[in-house]
Amino acid sequence: MDLKRPIVKILLVGIVAWPVVAGVAARSLIITVPLESADAIVVMSGSSAYLERTQKAAQLYHEGHAPMVLLTDDHRQGGWDNTRQRNPFFFERAMDELIKAGVPQEKIGVVPGFAESTRDESVIVGSYAQSKGFRSVLIITSAYHSRRALRCMRQVFANTGTNVGIETAGAAPSFFWWTGLEGWRTVGTECVKSIYYWFKYD
């Protein structure tokens, strides 16, 4: 029996099916759970994504979804700032952007503690929310990060009675958003992290 023909067929089917399978996998990373109102909007850290996340937070604040915006601190610094004469932390840059977008400075807070991972962020946000008696929080993060972020937050807030919603920042990704070099890297990294979190924290 000639084994080359079935192998070629399998390869052809794989080539045809792969874009669809990969596209579905990429889309599965994205989730939104809107909240009409919350006690606070929480912007998750993301050094390279702080602009889009703060813009989304400002939009939701002005729409009346929450009376305040909270930032987390990943303890990372950006480039040189002439005004401050130093390299500001990204949470400081995020605060600047929120103020530029019209969010009053007194309505912006920073959650105490350093967040080195999504799990860290969830824990410090959960602790802070409980200390303030929040009954609901609306999380803002990038689309690719949304499902893992929501899962972590819900695990931390389980049995607390606090409702957790999530909105994604930036333009809505198309079905083929993952096909570029950056998309491949983002999707691949996030899938690996999601699997790791599933085994470590579930």
Radius of gyration of the chain (CA): 20
Which helix H or strand E contains 91, and what residues bound it? Answer: helix 90-100
Task: Indicate the pLDDT class of residue 155, thresholds 50, 70 and 90.
Answer: very high
Q: pLDDT at position 195, please?
A: 84
CA angle 94, 102, 83 (to 5 degrees): 50
Conformational region of residue 64, where left means phi above 0, alpha means psi within -120 to 50, and beta covers everything else: left
From CA 72, how far away is CA 125, in angstroms rounded? 8
SS3 141: strand
In the predicted structure, residue 79 carries a pLDDT above the cut 60 = yes
The closest alpha carbon to 113, from 104, 97, 125, belongs to 125
Predicted confidence band at 130 (pLDDT cuts at 50, 70, 90)?
very high
**Is residue 160 within 8 Å of 131, Cβ to Cβ?**
no
State mean pLDDT over 176-194: 70
